[in-house]
């Protein structure tokens, strides 16, 4: 199970890096793109950074609200 989590994390990091590099394609010289990719992947991996979409953020906020509501219901 741990391997699956690591693979999923690497996949998410790679997807985030590719999105950034795609947006900045016109600004990064071709000769530097591999270095830029490596640097971003290392930074994202080290710091645990991931990009999220607005939809993912809304889903998280809805989940958090439901979780907080359940906690409030259980208080005496």
Q: Looking at residue 76, what is its pLDDT?
A: 54
In a structure prediction context, what are the per-residue pLDDT tens digits for the chain, which is 76 residues long? 666 677 888 888 999 999 999 999 999 999 999 999 999 999 999 988 878 888 988 998 888 888 766 666 655 5
52 phi/psi in degrees, rounded to 5? -130, 155
pLDDT at residue 2, as a whole number = 66
Domains of the chain by residue range: 2-74
Q: pTM for the whole thing?
A: 0.65
Q: What is the pLDDT of residue 75?
A: 55
> How far is Cα 1 from Cα 5, in angstroms, rounded to an integer?
6
C-beta atoms surrounding 27 within 10 Å: 8
């Amino acid at each position: 199970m741990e391997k699956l989590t690591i693979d999923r994390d690497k996949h998410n990091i790679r997807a985030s890096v590719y999105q950034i590099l795609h947006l900045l394609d016109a600004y990064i010289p071709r000769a530097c793109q591999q270095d830029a990719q490596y640097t971003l992947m290392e930074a994202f991996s080290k710091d645990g950074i991931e990009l999220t979409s607005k939809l993912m953020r809304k889903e998280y906020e809805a989940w958090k609200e439901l979780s907080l509501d359940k906690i409030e219901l259980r208080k005496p």
